[in-house]
């Protein structure tokens, strides 16, 4: 006892003597520690860590971006700008407004919205304030915005980066910071009209981006759930069977059937019945056929979905997009959100693509794993806003997410392959001189051009060589050079040279602006 | 002894029985804890917190954005789009390229670059990977980009949001997430030409945005340092006297003098000598006069700065912007970065503005506290990229940051006023 007492006394003394002075006090209540006490303790330990010099002694300084993120260089930005312009024009053509939300939300806003994927959320450090997390998609912030501002009707687009702590080892090339490009219509409307407009928008965008041929597959959650029910899938297996069916774009039916029966415990009979349906594709005709189908028509839910599908196709006909749209019973997607129509657009002409390249936000309504070649996806989600509203008031929503990163890499590859250089500036004229001591004159002329709204550059050298100035034009794609010389100044003219043809003419100083504008508008 | 023993035994048992089982072990070495042991301990405590239900039991669900951040509604976005279009057109008119960088950097990239303001950096939680922090400005990422890609020459613009854990209680209306709008020219060139182009760009943008009349104050770190030297300021007081002089746009000379003498311990004589200089404003003529000034001309540094200032004004004349530019010896700014010319643009026609509204990135080269009415700022910073390059290779840079948030609120106010006239405006 005495020995034990002495040992404990030493321990006690050690505690009292420890740098983090309140240790002893908090330890007495350790088994009954409250959250705030833990917070205090953590804060003290972290301060002790700082005193010890933290992590700073441990690393060499590394010049790199964070794992899973990258800079965009000027060429990539030029491509990105063109893609965004095309997409935004389309959104505006359809009357969409633009909103923006912060890059981080209260952690509790994102909690419970992403299922298993929640572990992929980036949290901010607890620095003594609110607990925050980086946004995982643009849909949850949208729902939060609607509920917070009590908005019942809006047609909005939102283009911004989102953040997911994906493990790059698993899926090569997957980024942790990437763009999403969302368009959504919120509000109570007559059925299927806004849904049809979303599909029209996808069709327009994919056509204008010239990515090659594409297909838009559509289905409906009610049809899927109804189909599972009439095929004898137990209710509690709906979601898990659904995620297996979703793999049909990557796996053969044999493998999918095998997974359903062997891994998910579905009866072979149910699996076979499902197999008969999920191979079906068509248009309005298929929806009509299924409404007549003895088994399918037993499900009220499926009938509702099929009726709406017919309606949808009639609108798509009016919108002239049925050439690319197919009702495909195998389309499942991550269905946690969706309550009605779902769709996914795929490119049909590209070769095998690393699965990772499909990470692109295409239909990232809280799930990953879109099929190879997928460039857009979405659907109707009527229940999400109600989860945020304090009174549970529902705001029905339908929307689509464009797989921007996928589009970027396709455009980047095209640019590489093409002979045409991508310009990173829009400069129209280089103001140059072949002789010395003409810096002042060059600056003066450049300012005149800028003041007239002309895009011009001048070299930051007192006496540059003409060759370097011309080389810069070649490198940057600048089409014109305005060359000053002693004689030209006396004569009141400027030599205007076309870079690619090397033709030169003398233009009077007074008419120079007009001449440049004429030539650059021809382009 | 027995009582003490019994008390200690209970304590010991308590420790052994505690949920975080290794507590006892680590405590034995507490006074000699290593960083990794602390990490382990913290991780365990945080897990215990999660087991206790973390913070989730404590809050009602609150429908709000994070403190210091806000959504932009469609009206605000329409205004924002117009402002960006004007600014980007100007950048493109001058041949600038565009780059983008990630919203977070490795924590070590940002460490040691912001002085006292480092406590305002948002860190990401240590989730078992690299330690990350949200970017605090666009200049450090730019320098990192240049060093990483071994770029020696570039003229680039970058418009993006940055993050600072400001305390909103202190400065009303200060946002924690806000836009910065940066234009920078990197590379070794003949002196003052790119510097002059930056000022031309500020002049163009502020004119096109139609924010009313404005002035662009310019000065030079070498002139300031030289001035302090010849006025008898001890070397080790340069930076602190400089930050006091910086307050002249908000405080009277009497108060500034008082702070220099009473709080910073400067001699009254030195303070008076400074006082004679910092009241001076002018153009090329002032630079010439100071080059002739008996005292000032004793400083080689000041003379270099003044010679360059004359050169700058000659270029500004060719660029036709001297009407709005004034060489102002009281302009100081947070000078940690800057090595040469510095400048700040202020609007002259607006009424009193809450100090907070001046938070806007205007010249937020790692410092806050721009003067009321400030809408842009910047300068030359030749040493920053060298801090990133493994071989310390320097890439001289000069640039400017437009105070976009300030511009937004002015445009939003203008839009409100127009509506109030009772006339429907069809355009944003």
The confidence score (pLDDT) of residue B394 equals: 93
Instruction: Indicate the burial class of A473 (C-beta count within 10 angstroms; 0-12, 13-18, 19 or more).
Output: buried
> Which region among A90-94, A433-437, B16-20, B66-70 has the lowest average model confidence (pLDDT)?
B16-20
Q: How far apart are CA B124 and CA A124, in angstroms?
A: 4
> Which region among A11-15, A41-45, B216-220 has the lowest average model confidence (pLDDT)?
A11-15
Count CA within 13 A, CB hemisphere, residue A24.
15
Residue partners of B318: CB distance under 8 A and separation at least 6: A440, A443, A444, A447
> Which region among A36-40, A144-148, A488-492, B108-112 has the lowest average model confidence (pLDDT)?
A36-40
* A187-194, Cβ contacts within 8 angstroms, sequence gap of 24 or more: A187/A152, A187/A153, A187/A154, A187/A395, A187/A396, A188/A152, A188/A153, A188/A395, A188/A396, A189/A396, A191/A308, A191/A311, A192/A308, A192/A311, A192/A312, A192/A315, A192/A341, A193/A315, A194/A155, A194/A398
Higher pLDDT, B19 or B306: B306
Taking an 8 Å cut-off on Cβ atoms, the answer to whether B33 and A54 are in contact is: no
Q: How far apart are CA B261 and CA B336, in angstroms?
A: 23
The confidence score (pLDDT) of residue B217 equals: 97
Q: Report CA-CA distances (Å) from B173 to A25, B70, B291.
A: 40, 11, 44
Higher pLDDT, A32 or A146: A146
Residues 58-97 of A with CB under 8 A from B: 58-59, 61-67, 69-74, 77-78, 80-81, 97
Q: How far apart are CA B327 and CA B223, in angstroms?
A: 11
Query: How many structural domains is chain A composed of?
Result: 3
Residues 149-188 of B with CB under 8 A from A: 149, 154, 156, 161, 163, 165, 177, 185, 187
Taking an 8 Å cut-off on Cβ atoms, the answer to whether A123 and B123 are in contact is: no
What would the pLDDT profile of B76-111 be if each residue is shown by its tens digit? 999 999 999 999 999 999 999 999 999 999 999 998
Task: Kindly report the CATH number assigned to the domain that includes residue A486.
Answer: 3.40.50.800
Q: How far apart are CA B405 and CA B174, in angstroms?
A: 10
Taking an 8 Å cut-off on Cβ atoms, the answer to whether B30 and A15 are in contact is: yes
Minimum-distance CB partner of A124 among B73, B122, B130: B122
Residues 10-29 of A with CB under 8 A from B: 11-12, 14-15, 17-20, 23, 27-28
> Quick one: which of B64, B66, B63, B62 has its CA closest to B161?
B66
Instruction: Establish if A451 belongs to a structural domain.
Output: yes
Q: How far apart are CA B167 and CA B178, in angstroms?
A: 14
Residue B99 in contact with partner chain A when CB distance is under 8 A:
yes
What would the pLDDT profile of B198-213 be if each residue is shown by its tens digit? 999 999 999 999 999 9
Q: How far apart are CA B266 and CA A442, in angstroms?
A: 48
Taking an 8 Å cut-off on Cβ atoms, the answer to whether A99 and B388 are in contact is: no
Percent of chain A with pLDDT over 90: 69
Residues 420-479 of A with CB under 8 A from B: 424-427, 439-440, 443-444, 447, 450-451, 453-457, 460-462, 476
- Rounded mean pLDDT, A277-306: 95
Q: Is B320 helix (H, G, I), strand (E, B) or coil?
A: coil
- Residue A480's domain comprises 429-519
At A49, the pLDDT band (50, 70, 90 cuts) reads low
What would the pLDDT profile of B217-257 be if each residue is shown by its tens digit? 999 999 999 999 999 999 999 888 988 998 888 899 999 99
The confidence score (pLDDT) of residue A119 equals: 85
Instruction: Establish if A158 belongs to a structural domain.
Output: yes
Q: Based on the domain organization, do A91 and A202 belong to the same domain?
A: yes
- Rounded mean pLDDT, A193-212: 96
Instruction: Establish if A1 belongs to a structural domain.
Output: no
Minimum-distance CB partner of A14 among B23, B31, B67: B31
The confidence score (pLDDT) of residue B409 equals: 86
Percent of chain A with pLDDT over 70: 83
What is the least distance, in Å, from the CA of B224 to any CA of chain A?
26
Q: Round the average pLDDT of chain B to a whole number and report it.
A: 82
Instruction: Establish if A292 belongs to a structural domain.
Output: yes
Q: How far apart are CA A162 and CA A158, in angstroms?
A: 11
Residue B307 has pLDDT above 90, yes or no: yes
Q: How far apart are CA B337 and CA A133, in angstroms?
A: 32
At A419, the pLDDT band (50, 70, 90 cuts) reads confident
The C-alpha R_g of chain A, in whole angstroms, comes to 31
What would the pLDDT profile of B122-141 be if each residue is shown by its tens digit? 999 999 889 999 999 999 99
Q: Which of A360, A391, A417 is the last residue of a domain?
A: A417
The confidence score (pLDDT) of residue B333 equals: 76
- Rounded mean pLDDT, A260-281: 94
What is the least distance, in Å, from the CA of A252 to any CA of chain B?
37
Q: Based on the domain organization, do A42 and A95 belong to the same domain?
A: no
Instruction: Establish if A191 belongs to a structural domain.
Output: yes
DSSP classification of residue A63: -
Instruction: Establish if A362 belongs to a structural domain.
Output: no
Task: Kindly report the CATH number assigned to the domain that includes residue A216.
Answer: 3.30.930.10
What is the least distance, in Å, from the CA of B386 to any CA of chain A?
12
Residue where the block lists tokens 């970017």 = B135
Q: Is A469 helix (H, G, I), strand (E, B) or coil?
A: helix
The confidence score (pLDDT) of residue B172 equals: 56
The confidence score (pLDDT) of residue A377 equals: 93
What is the least distance, in Å, from the CA of B292 to any CA of chain A?
26
Nearest chain A residue (CA) to B55? A35
Burial code (b: 16+ CB inside 10 Å, e: under 16) for B115-148 equals eebeeebbbbbbeeebbbbbbbbbbbbbbbbbbb
Residue where the block lists tokens 């129209």 = A428
Higher pLDDT, B22 or B85: B85
Residue B37 has pLDDT above 80, yes or no: no
Q: Which residue of B28, B63, B110 is the best one to mutate when testing the A interface, meaning the one whose CB has the most A CBs within 10 A?
A: B63
Q: Based on the domain organization, do A302 and A434 belong to the same domain?
A: no
Q: Based on the domain organization, do A83 and A45 belong to the same domain?
A: no
Q: How far apart are CA B81 and CA B423, in angstroms?
A: 22
Q: How far apart are CA A348 and CA B50, in angstroms?
A: 47
At B317, the pLDDT band (50, 70, 90 cuts) reads very high
Q: Based on the domain organization, do A139 and A79 belong to the same domain?
A: yes
Residue A72 has pLDDT above 70, yes or no: yes
Q: Which of A360, A387, A417 is the last residue of a domain?
A: A417
Q: Based on the domain organization, do A323 and A445 belong to the same domain?
A: no
The confidence score (pLDDT) of residue B361 equals: 43
The confidence score (pLDDT) of residue A129 equals: 86
The confidence score (pLDDT) of residue A21 equals: 35
> Quick one: which of A85, A220, A89, A173 has its CA closest to A360?
A173
Higher pLDDT, B377 or A365: B377
* Count of Cβ atoms closer than 10 Å to residue A383 Cβ: 16
- How does strand A177-186 pair with strand A154-163? antiparallel
Q: Based on the domain organization, do A376 and A245 belong to the same domain?
A: yes
- How does strand B325-328 pair with strand B214-220? parallel
DSSP classification of residue B94: T
Residue A11 has pLDDT above 50, yes or no: no
Q: Report CA-CA distances (Å) from A61 to A50, A52, B367.
A: 18, 19, 24
Q: Which two tokens stand for residue B91?
A: 């950048």
> Quick one: which of B363, B377, B368, B335 has its CA closest to B164?
B368
Percent of chain B with pLDDT over 90: 61
The confidence score (pLDDT) of residue A213 equals: 93
Task: Using the Cα atoms of residue A313, residue A317, residue A321 and residue A322 in order, give the sign of their dihedral.
Answer: positive
Asked if residues A346 and A370 have their Cβ atoms less than 8 Å apart, the reply is no
Angle at B104 between CA B101 and CA B108, to 5 degrees: 110
Q: Round the average pLDDT of chain A to a whole number and report it.
A: 86
Q: Establish, for the pair of chains A and B, how many residue pairs have beta carbons separated by less than 8 Å.
A: 299
What is the least distance, in Å, from the CA of A276 to any CA of chain B?
46
Q: Based on the domain organization, do A130 and A235 belong to the same domain?
A: yes
Q: Based on the domain organization, do A172 and A239 belong to the same domain?
A: yes
Residue B19 has pLDDT above 80, yes or no: no
Residue A359 has pLDDT above 50, yes or no: no
- Rounded mean pLDDT, A278-293: 95
Instruction: Indicate the burial class of B252 (C-beta count within 10 angstroms; 0-12, 13-18, 19 or more).
Output: exposed
Instruction: Indicate the burial class of B113 (C-beta count within 10 angstroms; 0-12, 13-18, 19 or more).
Output: buried
Residue B6 has pLDDT above 90, yes or no: no
Instruction: Establish if A358 belongs to a structural domain.
Output: no
Minimum-distance CB partner of A102 among B69, B124, B144: B69
Residue B124 in contact with partner chain A when CB distance is under 8 A:
yes
Residue B8 has pLDDT above 50, yes or no: no
The confidence score (pLDDT) of residue B424 equals: 43
Residue A437 has pLDDT above 80, yes or no: yes
> Quick one: which of B398, B421, B346, B397 has its CA closest to B376?
B346
At B397, the pLDDT band (50, 70, 90 cuts) reads very high
> Quick one: which of B373, B267, B287 has its CA closest to B329?
B287
Residue A55 has pLDDT above 90, yes or no: no
Asked if residues A77 and B100 have their Cβ atoms less than 8 Å apart, the reply is yes
Q: Based on the domain organization, do A118 and A227 belong to the same domain?
A: yes
- Rounded mean pLDDT, B45-60: 52
What would the pLDDT profile of A361-409 be if each residue is shown by its tens digit? 443 333 333 334 789 999 999 999 998 888 889 999 999 999 899 899 8
Residue A30 in contact with partner chain B when CB distance is under 8 A:
yes
Q: How many residues does chain B have?
A: 428
The confidence score (pLDDT) of residue B143 equals: 94
Residue B22 has pLDDT above 80, yes or no: no
Nearest chain B residue (CA) to A424? B97
What is the least distance, in Å, from the CA of B425 to any CA of chain A?
17
Residue where the block lists tokens 């307050």 = B247
Partners of A469 on chain B (C-beta within 8 Å) are none
Higher pLDDT, B357 or A342: A342
| Phi, psi angles (nearest 5°) of residue B181 | -135, 95
Taking an 8 Å cut-off on Cβ atoms, the answer to whether A71 and B100 are in contact is: yes
Higher pLDDT, A455 or A358: A455
Residue where the block lists tokens 């790692």 = B366
Q: Based on the domain organization, do A407 and A329 belong to the same domain?
A: yes
Q: Tell me the H-state helices in A53-184.
A: 74-93, 107-110, 139-148
- Rounded mean pLDDT, B362-386: 68
What is the least distance, in Å, from the CA of A465 to any CA of chain B?
14
> Which region among A8-12, A398-402, B191-195 has the lowest average model confidence (pLDDT)?
A8-12
Q: How many residues does chain A have?
A: 523
Instruction: Establish if A67 belongs to a structural domain.
Output: no
Residue B154 has pLDDT above 60, yes or no: yes
Q: Based on the domain organization, do A234 and A273 belong to the same domain?
A: yes
Taking an 8 Å cut-off on Cβ atoms, the answer to whether B97 and A74 are in contact is: yes
| Phi, psi angles (nearest 5°) of residue A395 | -130, 110
Residues 277-336 of B with CB under 8 A from A: 314-315, 318-320
């Amino acid at each position: 006892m005495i020995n034990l007492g002495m040992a404990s006394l030493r321990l006690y003394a050690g505690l009292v003597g420890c740098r983090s002075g309140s240790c002893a006090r908090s330890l007495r209540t350790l088994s009954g520690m409250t959250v705030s006490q833990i917070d205090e303790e953590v804060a003290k330990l972290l301060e002790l860590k700082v005193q010890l010099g933290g992590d700073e002694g441990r690393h060499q300084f590394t010049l790199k971006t964070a794992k899973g993120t990258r800079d965009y260089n000027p060429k990539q930005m030029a491509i990105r700008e063109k893609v965004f312009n095309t997409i935004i024009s389309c959104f505006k053509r359809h009357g969409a407004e633009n909103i923006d939300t912060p890059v981080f939300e209260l952690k509790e806003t994102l909690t419970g919205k992403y299922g298993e994927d929640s572990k992929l959320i980036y949290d901010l450090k607890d620095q003594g304030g609110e607990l925050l997390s980086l946004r995982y998609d643009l849909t949850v912030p949208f729902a939060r915005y609607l509920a917070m501002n009590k908005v019942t009707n809006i047609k909005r687009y939102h283009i911004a980066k989102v953040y997911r702590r994906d493990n790059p080892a698993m899926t090569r090339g997957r980024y942790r910071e990437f763009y999403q490009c969302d368009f959504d219509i919120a509000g109570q409307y007559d059925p299927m009209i806004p849904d049809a407009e979303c599909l029209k928008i996808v069709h327009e965008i994919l056509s204008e981006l010239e990515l090659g041929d594409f297909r838009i597959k559509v289905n409906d959650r009610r049809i899927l759930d109804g189909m599972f029910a009439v095929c004898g899938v137990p209710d509690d297996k709906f979601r898990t069977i659904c995620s297996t069916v979703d793999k049909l774009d990557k796996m053969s039916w044999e493998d999918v059937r095998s997974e359903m029966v062997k891994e998910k415990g579905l009866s072979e009979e149910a699996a076979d019945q499902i197999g008969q349906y999920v191979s079906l594709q068509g248009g309005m005709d298929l929806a009509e056929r299924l409404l007549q189908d003895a088994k399918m028509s037993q499900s009220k839910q499926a009938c509702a979905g099929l009726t709406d599908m017919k309606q949808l196709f009639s609108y798509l006909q009016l919108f002239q997009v049925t050439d690319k749209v197919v009702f495909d019973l195998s389309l499942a997607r991550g269905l946690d959100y969706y309550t009605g129509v779902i769709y996914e657009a795929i490119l049909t002409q590209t070769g095998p693509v690393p699965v990772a390249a499909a990470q692109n936000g295409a239909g990232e309504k809280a799930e990953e794993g879109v099929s190879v070649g997928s460039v857009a996806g979405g659907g109707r989600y009527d229940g999400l806003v109600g989860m945020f509203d304090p009174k549970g008031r529902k705001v029905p929503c339908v929307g689509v997410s464009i797989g921007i990163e996928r589009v970027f890499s396709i455009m980047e590859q095209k640019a590489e392959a093409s002979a045409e250089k991508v310009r990173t500036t829009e400069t129209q004229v280089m103001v140059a001189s072949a002789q010395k001591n003409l810096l002042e004159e060059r600056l003066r002329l450049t300012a005149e051009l800028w003041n007239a709204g002309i895009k011009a550059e001048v070299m930051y050298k007192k006496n540059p060589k003409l060759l370097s100035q011309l080389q810069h034009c070649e490198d940057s794609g600048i089409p014109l050079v305005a060359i000053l010389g002693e004689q030209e100044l006396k004569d009141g003219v400027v030599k205007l040279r076309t870079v690619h043809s090397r033709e030169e003419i003398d233009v009077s100083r007074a008419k120079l602006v007009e001449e440049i504008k004429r030539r650059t508008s021809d382009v």
